[in-house]
Amino acid sequence: MAAKELTAQLAAFSHGRVPRDLRRKQVLSEAFDLFIERGFPGASMDELARRVGVTKPVIYDLVGSKEQLFREVMAVVQEELTASIATAVAVEADLPSRLRAGILAFLRFTHQRRRGWSALLSMESGAGSAEVNAIRRQQAALVAALIAEGAGGAPDPRTLEALAQAVNGAVEFVALWWQAHPELTAESLADLLSELLAPGLVAIAKASTAKRTTPKPRRRAT
């Protein structure tokens, strides 16, 4: 991709002393690869510096800290994922279709970039968990919006959030599991997941709108 033109640009400064912006891009690019190869804990700043062909303080001057670097690198992934799902959802009309489209987009994305994706998940707390959580929050918000508009006005916000988390979790787990069972297709899994989730979602959405229309006491599942 942009990697080639980057190295091309870099070649122009073969005598060391690369401009700050360019060096920064190089660091980010190399860091991305490194995080994917080794995961967050396994990636060392020393090795990053070595790969970039520079010493550590330069790296720290450019990106601040390992966490910040990780955040910055993975923010790109987040944006791509969000965009990918958003466009996939946009072309569908009713809730179930949108749900399935979104799930399919997610599955395809994480499959395509599975190395990057598992690197992203390879922290999950301690250090860079904040960023992972941010991605999940954004993801959940997206799902929540999908449910809300798809259901024609939502239940209370908390319920909505919880539902979004549930949907998110279901999809993410299946995506992860899928990596160990690649004989299945994204489509079949998207089918399965939407068959699992859509009925409940629709029912809950209906119940909530019905409740707002005629406020009967809600029944609970036994």
When binding is defined by CB under 8 A, the residue of 9, 22, 96, 111 that contacts a second copy is 96
Span interacting with a second copy, options 2-10, 44-52, 69-77, 92-100, rule CB under 8 A: 92-100
Does the protein bind DNA through residue 51 (CB under 7 A)? no
Which listed option, DNA, a second copy, none, makes contact with residue 55 (CB within 5 to 8 Å by class)?
Answer: DNA
User: How many whole angstroms separate alpha carbon 57 and alpha carbon 180?
Assistant: 40
User: How many whole angstroms separate alpha carbon 16 and alpha carbon 140?
Assistant: 45
The answer to whether 209 and 160 have CB atoms below 8 angstroms apart is no
Q: Count of CB atoms within 10 A of residue 221's CB?
A: 3
Span interacting with DNA, options 63-71, 158-166, 193-201, 205-213, rule CB under 7 A: 63-71
Build a one-symbol-per-residue string for 119-138: x at contacts with a second copy by CB under 8 A, - elsewhere. --xxxxxxx-x------x--
Span interacting with DNA, options 16-24, 88-96, 189-197, 201-209, rule CB under 7 A: 16-24
Which listed option, a second copy, DNA, none, makes contact with residue 20 (CB within 5 to 8 Å by class)?
Answer: DNA
The answer to whether 201 and 193 have CB atoms below 8 angstroms apart is no
User: How many whole angstroms separate alpha carbon 83 and alpha carbon 93?
Assistant: 18
Which listed option, a second copy, DNA, none, makes contact with residue 67 (CB within 5 to 8 Å by class)?
Answer: DNA
Which listed option, a second copy, DNA, none, makes contact with residue 161 (CB within 5 to 8 Å by class)?
Answer: a second copy
- Name the residue among 157, 138, 147 with its Cα closest to residue 89: 147
* 159: phi then psi, degrees, rounded to nearest 5: -55, -45
Span interacting with a second copy, options 14-22, 63-71, 75-83, 117-125, rule CB under 8 A: 117-125
The answer to whether 69 and 78 have CB atoms below 8 angstroms apart is no
The answer to whether 139 and 175 have CB atoms below 8 angstroms apart is no
- Name the residue among 141, 31, 11, 42 with its Cα closest to residue 75: 31
When binding is defined by CB under 8 A, the residue of 169, 210, 211, 212 that contacts a second copy is 169
Q: Which residues are at the interface with a second copy (CB under 8 A)?
A: 39-42, 96-97, 100, 118, 121-127, 129, 136, 140, 158-159, 161-163, 165-174, 176-178, 181, 183-184, 189, 191-201, 203-204, 220-222
